Chain A
Amino acid sequence: MLAQLDKVSKRYGRQWALNQLSLDIAEGETLLLTGHNGAGKTTLLRLLATVMRPTHGTIQIFGHDSKTDYEQIRPAIGLLSHQNHLYNQLNAFENLELVAKLSGKSTENIPGFLDEVGLPSKGQKVVAQYSAGMKRRLAIARMLVRQPKLILLDEPFGQLDPGGVEMMEHFIQRWQEDTTLLIATHDIERGKKLCSRHLHLEKGQSVCP
């Protein structure tokens, strides 16, 4: 198993976002995550990304405990969240260059990645001047630079124009070849087409979809 959640709960104040959730994620599978707002989708993704720790229960990713061994796990995880993790005062190339250098990856392919997501490779425009859709495209390019083994996508089709949605689908299909994916979306029909398994969350618990 690539990731195993054992009776995982997460509480914010008095509110339980996840409640005793157990889940196995096999290597290479694409898991669709659905549920109403506040059902716990984003919390689950953030727990798997190790940027958050469970209140109760354990999460094993790549055989490591997410609470203690997060520094070993993180290089292999890519999170595309509502926040894009971009620096507003840097341009697209500079943002990706920083990611590449800090991840120990080559910077040679950055112009190609920018081209793939439909952003100009030599533009000096800083990210602050980008539209929400362009920022999302750059966040996808960030993922291409890092090449993680577990990709967590939180509302991947949000903020994208129809061309962007098509591009996102193309990338998901490409990543499926050698990557494990978790896709949280309200676009259930599109998600079902792309995913091999469906997990529906309600009040922090898994229910039959």
Chain B
Amino acid sequence: MSLAESTNKSPSLVQTVWLILQKDLRIEWRQRARINATAFFAILTLLLFSFAAGPQAALLEKQAPGYLWLAIFLASVLALSESMRLENDNEALEGLRLLSTTPVAIFLAKAILNSLMLWSLGLLLLPLSIAFYDAHMELGLHQAALVLFLGTTAISAPGTLYATITSKLQAREVLLPLLLFPVLIPGLLASVKAMTLIYTGDPMQQLPSWLALLFGFNLIYWIVGGLLFGRVIEE
């Protein structure tokens, strides 16, 4: 018997990513625990920053973009560490591997889901940060949404990879931020700089450069993540 006899026409990479993503969205919607916990944690973090800075309206307004990104950054650890848990229950990830699903497809589906979650979180926190810190945006909402998109995808790709590496370790909650934060710092700095320009205005036209830098970080993170994910999930 040849192996070809037993194999069927497998779905394409895009179809596979969509099938896994669809499954994950369905599961996330049914549980909603990860979404709710991450959102509440991020909102609480935003509030805590305003308490920590005290009643200094000017300082809060100036620091608002940084606080916004720190809230997303810290909440992302919570979201990412939970993202692989459903794949570890009943060794479901092993089941996916046995279906000959390519590691790249699994990585893309997981990273896209995490990006969607963190981007939505960013969009939720944006008006809240304006309200909490009495800040205002000089540039448009679509530019802010673009910065949030590029910033959160820059967190999600390495985040998905490191969450997978640490998902089976006992001290994963501690190890994930230890491994992840140093990798995320360049993307975080670019995101804060770009968001500061959105809040304060961009008379020197610097925003396109920061967006290009964020795009570059994303390119590196997503390519490296896709290439390494196979090594991480295979023995």
**Mask: chain A, 69-89; 1 = CB below 8 Å from B; 0 = not:** 011111111110101111111
Give the size range of A's interface with the partner: 35 or more
**Pairwise interchain contact B11-A104, C-beta atoms closer than 8 A:** yes
Answer whether residue A198 sits at the interface, using C-beta atoms and an 8 A cutoff: no
The CB with the most chain B CB atoms within 10 A, among A2, A84, A89, A126, is that of: A89
In the complex, what residue of chain B is closest to A104 when comparing beta carbons?
B8
Chain B residue numbers with a CB within 8 Å of A165 are none
A sample of 20 more A-B contacts (CB under 8 A), given A90-B26, A103-B10, is A51-B94, A51-B97, A62-B1, A62-B3, A72-B100, A74-B100, A75-B100, A79-B98, A86-B92, A87-B23, A87-B92, A88-B89, A89-B30, A94-B26, A101-B19, A102-B96, A103-B8, A126-B30, A142-B95, A149-B5
The CB with the most chain A CB atoms within 10 A, among B5, B7, B31, is that of: B7
**Mask: chain B, 27-46; 1 = CB below 8 Å from A; 0 = not:** 10011000000000000000
Answer whether residue B9 sits at the interface, using C-beta atoms and an 8 A cutoff: yes
Chain B residue numbers with a CB within 8 Å of A63 are 3
Given contacts A75-B6, A75-B8, contact A85 B235 (CB under 8 A): no
Answer whether residue B101 sits at the interface, using C-beta atoms and an 8 A cutoff: yes
Answer whether residue A99 sits at the interface, using C-beta atoms and an 8 A cutoff: yes
Q: Closest 5 A-B residue pairs measured CB to CB?
A: A85-B95, A83-B91, A104-B8, A76-B6, A62-B3
Given contacts A52-B235, A83-B90, A90-B26, contact A71 B99 (CB under 8 A): no
In the complex, what distance in Å separates the CA atom of A88 from the CA atom of B90?
A: 8
Answer whether residue B58 sits at the interface, using C-beta atoms and an 8 A cutoff: no
Q: How many A-B residue pairs have CB under 8 A?
A: 104
In the complex, what distance in Å separates the CA atom of A176 from the CA atom of B220?
A: 50
In the complex, what distance in Å separates the CA atom of A104 from the CA atom of B23?
A: 16
Please provide the chain B residues from 99 to 119 with a CB less than 8 Å away from any CB of chain A in the complex: 99-102
Chain A residue numbers with a CB within 8 Å of B31 are 89
In the complex, what distance in Å separates the CA atom of A81 from the CA atom of B91?
A: 10
Pick from B3, B6, B16, B26: contact of A102, CB under 8 Å: B16
Can you give 7 A-B contacts (C-beta < 8 A)? A70-B234, A72-B7, A75-B7, A76-B7, A90-B23, A98-B19, A102-B20
**Pairwise interchain contact B26-A71, C-beta atoms closer than 8 A:** no
Answer whether residue A105 sits at the interface, using C-beta atoms and an 8 A cutoff: yes
In the complex, what residue of chain B is closest to A127 when comparing beta carbons?
B90
B interface list, Cβ under 8 A from A: 1-3, 5-11, 15-16, 19-20, 23, 26-27, 30-31, 86, 89-92, 94-102, 234-235
**Pairwise interchain contact A72-B3, C-beta atoms closer than 8 A:** yes
Chain B residue numbers with a CB within 8 Å of A51 are 94, 97-98, 235
Given contacts A51-B97, A53-B235, A87-B86, contact A148 B11 (CB under 8 A): no
Pick from A85, A90, A135, A147: contact of B98, CB under 8 Å: A85
In the complex, what distance in Å separates the CA atom of A83 from the CA atom of B2?
A: 29
**Pairwise interchain contact A84-B8, C-beta atoms closer than 8 A:** no
In the complex, what residue of chain A is closest to B28 when comparing beta carbons?
A89
Answer whether residue A203 sits at the interface, using C-beta atoms and an 8 A cutoff: no
In the complex, what distance in Å separates the CA atom of A64 from the CA atom of B11?
A: 22
Answer whether residue A181 sits at the interface, using C-beta atoms and an 8 A cutoff: no
Pick from A64, A89, A98: contact of B3, CB under 8 Å: A64
In the complex, what residue of chain B is closest to A83 when comparing beta carbons?
B91
**Pairwise interchain contact A27-B27, C-beta atoms closer than 8 A:** no
